Amino acid sequence: MPAARLTWLAAAAVALVLVFLSYLQPDLVVQLATQLWNCF
């Protein structure tokens, strides 16, 4: 499996985990999004 494909697979898995966490703990996701936005 090429490294680029593995990277995209890992990114997709992280995105899915974040979606599931957003249903379980919406406040945590809002906090993470705010911290990410502050980086820009």
The total domain count for the chain is 1
Whether 38 shows a pLDDT value over 90: the answer reads: yes
Whether 12 shows a pLDDT value over 90: the answer reads: yes
22 contacts 29 by C-beta, under 8 angstroms: yes
Identify the burial level of 22 via C-beta atoms within 10 angstroms of its C-beta, where 0-12 means exposed, 13-18 middle and 19 or more buried. Answer: middle
Calculate the average pLDDT of the chain. Answer: 87
Residue 1: pLDDT band with limits 50, 70, 90: low
What pLDDT sits at residue 10?
Answer: 92
Establish how many alpha carbons lie within 13 A of residue 22's alpha carbon, considering only the half-sphere containing its beta carbon.
10
Distance of CA 33 to the CA centre of its chain: 9
Domain of residue 17 covers: 3-38
Q: Taking residues 26-39, what's their average pLDDT?
A: 87
Alpha-carbon gap, residue 37 to 32, rounded angstroms: 9
